[in-house]
Amino acid sequence: MSTLQLAISPLTWSNDDMPALGGNIPLDTCLAEMRLAGFTGTELGAKYPRDPQLLLPLLRAHGLKLASGWCSGHLMRDDVDTEWRAIAPHVALLRAAGVSAMVYGEVSNTVHGNIDAPLSTRVALTPDQLKRYGERLTELAERLLREEGIRLAFHHHVGTIIETPADILGLLACTSDAVGLTFDTGHASFGGGDPVALLQQCVSRVAHVHLKDVRSPVLQATRAQDRSFLSAVLDGAFTVPGDGTVDFPAVLACLHKSGYRGWAVVEAEQDPAKAHPLTYARMAHDYIAQQVTATGYTVDGGVWYG
């Protein structure tokens, strides 16, 4: 029996890369509305306390579990020992919360957080560079799994070294199975791929899932005008599942067939002044619950069994 648990990212309420978006929304409001919308889990956000003795009671008070949390990686710049020391506090928090997969993305040379950087300026690795990066990533992932029991779930992301389907498949080809994948439907689309076709090729390595929908005309305009990632976010490139063009029934069917066990996290970077957070959170939960049932799962207390 495979299980799928549903969480939501706090990005629906406030944006970590652009703090002005939702900066006025209190964390308690965010957590309370997550639960009101029907979610049982959350990922970390900038407003969350990073002390387990503060964070875990806060989440329990709202009826939530920690699904995972983004870890900013610098393996293009630092060696594995340096990186291990840098991520140690984050790893300790995840371990205390019982998290099984750590979302990890390379940021040492990214342009995704620079609103003035056209997407054409992102760094693309040569085959030799990717191989060397894969070796470091494998060493880090194997140590994380061996010493902490946590699987590294690499997050492909527009504006970073791992953006396109070729980047993703290339990285998986030069890393061991200890390196899992955070499969993000929105970034798969924005990166130039068909999310369903791409997922079918790499589903055996999926360790964590982000369910994000896209507004294709915005993606196309961003690429055509060579604008930045954050400009696309402000223009409404992303939305919650069911409000865009991603084929979520096929995505969920693929995950179900593979026996994926883990969290599925709704994530949609939007301006909360334009997209009311609770309204969109409820929309996402209701849509995904409906699609999950149609796929062959049943819903039981926020955990889906297939």
Of 2, 29, 101, give the one whose Cα is nearest residue 10.
Answer: 29
Residue 293 pLDDT greater than 60, yes or no = yes
**Residue 294: band (very low, low, confident or very high) from pLDDT cuts 50, 70, 90:** confident
pLDDT one-digit tens code per residue, 87-146? 999 999 999 999 999 999 999 999 999 999 999 999 999 999 999 999 999 999 999 999
61: Cβ–Cβ under 8 A, 6 or more apart, which residues? none
Is 303 a residue whose pLDDT tops 70?
A: no
> What's the pLDDT tens digit per position in 172-189?
999 999 999 999 999 999
Alpha helix segments (H runs only) across 52-126: 52-61, 80-96
Q: For the residues 221-227, what does the mean pLDDT come to?
A: 98
Query: Assign residue 149 a region: left if phi > 0, alpha if psi is -120 to 50, beta otherwise?
Result: left
- pLDDT surpassing 80 at residue 298: no
Mean pLDDT of 287-297: 84
Question: What is the mean predicted confidence (pLDDT) over 55-64?
Answer: 98
| pLDDT given at position 299 | 53
Q: What ranges in the chain are assigned the alpha helix state H?
A: 27-36, 52-61, 80-96, 127-148, 165-173, 185-190, 195-202, 216-225, 229-234, 248-258, 277-295
Q: What is the mean pLDDT of residues 216-229?
A: 98
- Give the whole-angstrom CA distance, residue 99 versus residue 76: 25
**Cα 115 from chain centroid (whole Å):** 20
Please determine, for residue 1, whether its predicted confidence score (pLDDT) is greater than 90.
Answer: no
d(CA 231, CA 181): 26
Q: Please, what is the average pLDDT of the chain?
A: 95
Domains, the chain, with CATH or none: 3-305 (3.20.20.150)
Q: Which pTM value belongs to this model? A: 0.96
Segment 16-35 mean pLDDT: 96
Nearest Cα to 108, choosing from 133, 127, 88, 135?
133
> Among 268, 223, 244, which Cα is nearest to 118's?
223
What confidence score (pLDDT) does residue 153 get? Answer: 98
Provide the pairing of β-strand 3-8 with 262-266.
Answer: parallel
